[in-house]
Amino acid sequence: MNVLVSPTDRDVLQGLGDIAISSLITEEHGADVLLYTNQGLFGIQRKRFPEDFISSMNDGRISRETSLLARTCKFRMLMIEGQPKYYPDGNLVMPRKMPGHYTRKRIRGTILNIKYVKGIDVDYTESVTDTVEYIKEIVEFFTDTKHLGLYVRPSAPAEWIRPSANETLLWILQGFSGVGPQLADNIIKYFGEIPIKWTCSLEDLKKVPRLGSKVAEEIYGQLGSVVETNKKEETYTDKLNRFLGRK
């Protein structure tokens, strides 16, 4: 696995040793560390707390970097080196050399925005040594093929235990970049079905190893394809005529 580290993070680069190289490519993704995993690009933005974290809040860097991270990396994490500490009144404990006034609410608001608006994981480490060890653990995790959860897409969400046909179609469409629940629903309502077809016949699909006939017929039909191979595919005109009771 290729591991790239920003030239400005020399301590992390040195700690990772031979498994990492210095590269400015990280900045193009809003990251300090980039992992080229088999499952996709993993970007890590590292912030030392409070100095680096606070200054990046003030100058807007953390907003720009996390936006890039969210847009260009499949997996992303904000790794905060150090834990925030607060006075009883909720004000952040700051080094004397750092001016400004920061509250628990403001810090948490920034982190909540990064986590739940931008979809970036946030985790903490105790020191640069802990940060290096954490990155090594991430590399090991993504290298281990036993973690099948990274290869399997989560099941379609369902109101009941088994997803309905419509829920499955909505789920399939949302697999495309830029398609959310509402747009997926609009597409299905406009076409009356999912406008995607298999490029093989049902019989060819059944030849896939370990794919049973029942499952093959079910998934073949979900994409609007005709299950009976000897039946002519129904056109939109045919569907309209059938709906109006015409022969």
Percent of the chain's residues with pLDDT above 70? 82
How does residue 227 score in pLDDT terms, banded at 50, 70 and 90?
very low
Q: Is the pLDDT of residue 236 over 70?
A: no
Better-scored residue on pLDDT, 138 or 240: 138
How does residue 68 score in pLDDT terms, banded at 50, 70 and 90?
very high
**Domains in the chain: ranges and CATH:** 2-150 (3.40.50.10130), 165-243 (no CATH)
Average confidence (pLDDT) over 146-172: 62
Digit-coded pLDDT (tens) for 91-111: 999 887 777 788 999 999 999
pLDDT score of 56: 93
The mean predicted confidence, pLDDT, of the chain is 84
Average confidence (pLDDT) over 64-71: 94
Digit-coded pLDDT (tens) for 165-185: 677 777 888 878 778 778 888
How does residue 146 score in pLDDT terms, banded at 50, 70 and 90?
low
How does residue 226 score in pLDDT terms, banded at 50, 70 and 90?
very low
Full-model pTM: 0.61
Q: Are 148 and 39 in contact, with CB atoms under 8 Å apart?
A: no
How does residue 66 score in pLDDT terms, banded at 50, 70 and 90?
very high
Lowest mean pLDDT among 10-14, 40-44, 208-212, 233-237: 233-237
pLDDT score of 230: 44
Q: Is the pLDDT of residue 71 over 80?
A: yes
